[in-house]
Amino acid sequence: MTVEYQYAGEGILLLTLDRPERLNALDSQAKQALSEAWLRAEQDPAVRAIVLRGAGERAFCAGSDLKEIQATGETVSSQALARALPGVGHDLSKPVIAALHGHTLGLGISLAIHCDFRIARHDTRFQFPEVQHGMLSGFSAITLPTLVGEAVALDIMLSARPFDAQEALAIGLVNQVVDDAYSSALELATRLAAHSGKAIGWTKTLLLAERKTRLQRQMALVDQARQDVMQGR
């Protein structure tokens, strides 16, 4: 899978998950490519705001590549997974906007909720299906309650039920529901890129300091949970 790294205007980086034939499902190679992209973006002086999107019309990201996991019997390490998520495994002071559409499942939602803004097209469909497959979404289980509340997080993660963009807006999972998520994300990125990069970076760092501390504190527990669940599948 290719994770395309391209500039989309002054100060704006466009990252595209480019595997539309598999609904942009992330294999181990793609997770490594995302890790490298976040690190590169943080160090890239030309980047002031980032838009993350999925290629094709059917999906933002359908989660991890289950066929790869079934074939190998393995998943990437917790550390490698953390590095694939924006701001989790690597420091990322630059704002990230997720432009969502179509299937946004499992690791796809995890990517989105660790972005700073989430803009969804009307056809976006969400689901955390991990418990149906004997898996879990460990980092999302730590972060999601701070976005939508504990009761809602328990509902959508334990029931594994699908829900649509309007419900996602109502529970606070997304910021906007629009006709064209990519165009709206670019408009927002343009506004953000025009601000002071240092001020944006420090404001984001301060706003997310408690979340970062919580994720770091729970890393060992997430790793234990992932290993135990995989052994018991």
pLDDT, tens digit (0-9, with 9 covering 90-100), for 3-21? 999 999 899 999 999 999 9
Q: Is 30's pLDDT higher than 60?
A: yes
Q: Give the range of the structural domain holding residue 201, as residue numbers without chain letter.
A: 2-231
Predicted TM-score of the model (pTM)? 0.95
Region 170-190 average pLDDT:
98
Q: How confident is the model at residue 230 (pLDDT cuts 50, 70, 90)?
A: confident
As a three-state string, the secondary structure of the chain is CEEEEEECCCCEEEEEEECHHHCCCECHHHHHHHHHHHHHHHHCCCCCEEEEEECCCCEEECCECHHHHHHHCCCCCHHHHHHHCCCCCCCCCCCEEEEECEEEECHHHHHHHCCCEEEEECCCEEECCHHHHCCCCHHHHHHHHHHHCHHHHHHHHHHCCCEEHHHHHHHCCCCEEECCHHHHHHHHHHHHHCCCHHHHHHHHHHHCHHHHHHHHHHHHHHHHHHHHHHHCC
Q: State pLDDT tens for residues 101-144.
A: 999 999 999 999 999 999 999 999 999 999 998 888 999 999 99
Q: Is 70's pLDDT higher than 80?
A: no
Mean pLDDT of the chain, nearest integer: 94
Number of domains observed in the structure of the chain? 1
pLDDT of residue 75: 76
Domain at 54, CATH number:
3.90.226.10
Q: Is 232's pLDDT higher than 70?
A: no
Q: Is 71's pLDDT higher than 80?
A: no
pLDDT of residue 147: 96
pLDDT of residue 117: 98
Q: How confident is the model at residue 233 (pLDDT cuts 50, 70, 90)?
A: low
Q: Is 94's pLDDT higher than 70?
A: yes
Region 156-180 average pLDDT:
98
Residue with the larger pLDDT of the pair 231 and 84: 84
pLDDT of residue 1: 57
pLDDT of residue 111: 97
pLDDT of residue 229: 85
Q: How confident is the model at residue 190 (pLDDT cuts 50, 70, 90)?
A: very high
